[in-house]
Amino acid sequence: MDFNAELAARSAEIEEIISSFLPETEGYASTVIEAMNYSLMGGGKRIRPMLMNETYKLFGGTSVAIEYFMAAIEMIHTYSLVHDDLPCMDNDEYRRGRKTTHAVYGDAIATLAGDGLLNFAAETALGAFDTDIEKERVGKAVRIMFNKSGIYGMIGGQTADVLAEGKPEEEISEDMLDYIHKKKTAALIEAAMMAGGVLAGVDNVILNTLEKIARNVGLAFQIQDDILDVTGTFEELGKPIGSDERNGKATYVSIHGLEKAKADVEELSNEAIMLLHTFEGDNPFLEELLRSMIYRRK
């Protein structure tokens, strides 16, 4: 398997799937719908829909229903970025080399575009009721996705992040940083892999294992981010290195040191791969994908 060629092919496939679920403009709502589509088609690695789809295939899933959920989880991820970029939150004018949604459409429309994406994610996922898949699986997958994206998941993590922003670095406890990583980053990765499993009909034992794998991967991904901010080069990252340190931002590295950070990435990812091997099925691409997310240089 040429992993990079496979990755490119599957990424292209996902772009097409997401495109096919873009809402159509209509009447006076067209402005907000354009803003939604602008933010949805802003690139990105599409990690969540890809993990969801690969988990689904690992357990033998074949229904088109998965596409509804792949589009929906990317809408949820995108809305969180649109609101996160707002002036009252992180106030970012650029993301992935492109103007952020509020920088193009203004703050009011960007707020509504985020709302629209979250609402449309629900509509899109619920659309899977019209496909050939068992209805119970759709209901269960939607519930998991909205639980992981909500106040006890992603939104909880963003709240902690907002609270941490206002504090000096030394007041950010290990516990708080761990909460932010688990909720803000890992929760939606858990949603992706768990929904993929549920839609393929896995039992609750496997579902719990998927949650554990995804959490490890999400945490390792986030720690690697913090490591790269210290060890990466400008060329690799496409952004200044050491920016967290200069901003006085508490990171996994500033709290635990570089050596422990590296050791923890190793441990978390080894455990994730080990757990993946406990499943009967086999998806070599998924394993490579997990490794590539963790051991990346950018």
Q: What Å distances lie between residue 247 and 16, 168, 274, CA to CA?
A: 38, 10, 37
Contact 148, 207 (CB under 8 A): no
Q: Closer to a second copy by CB, 160 or 272: give it.
A: 160
CA pair distance 127, 106, nearest whole angstrom: 30
CA pair distance 226, 289, nearest whole angstrom: 20
The β-bridge partners of 98 are 95
Q: Write each residue from 257 to 286 as x if it is in contact with a second copy (CB under 8 A), else as -, in one continuous string.
A: ------------------------------
Closest distance of CB 86 from a second copy, Å: 7
User: Contact with a second copy (CB under 8 A): which of 7, 41, 162, 241?
Assistant: 162
The reply on whether position 63 binds a second copy by CB under 8 A is no
User: Contact with a second copy (CB under 8 A): which of 136, 170, 174, 266?
Assistant: 136
User: Residues for the chain: how many in total?
Assistant: 298
3-state secondary structure of 185: helix
Residue 95 has phi, psi (to 5 degrees) of -145, 125
The reply on whether position 132 binds a second copy by CB under 8 A is no
The reply on whether position 68 binds a second copy by CB under 8 A is no
CA pair distance 190, 196, nearest whole angstrom: 10
Which residues touch 260 (CB under 8 Å, ≥6 apart)? none
Closest distance of CB 298 from a second copy, Å: 29
Interface with a second copy in residues 3-62 (CB under 8 A): 23, 26-29, 31-33, 36
The reply on whether position 93 binds a second copy by CB under 8 A is no
User: Contact with a second copy (CB under 8 A): which of 7, 41, 86, 103?
Assistant: 86
Query: Integer distance in angstroms from the first to the last C-alpha of the chain?
Result: 22
Interacting residues toward a second copy by CB under 8 A: 23, 26-29, 31-33, 36, 79-80, 83, 86-89, 106-109, 111-112, 114-116, 118-120, 122-123, 126, 129, 135-136, 138-139, 142-143, 146-147, 149-152, 155-156, 158-160, 162-163, 176, 179-180, 183
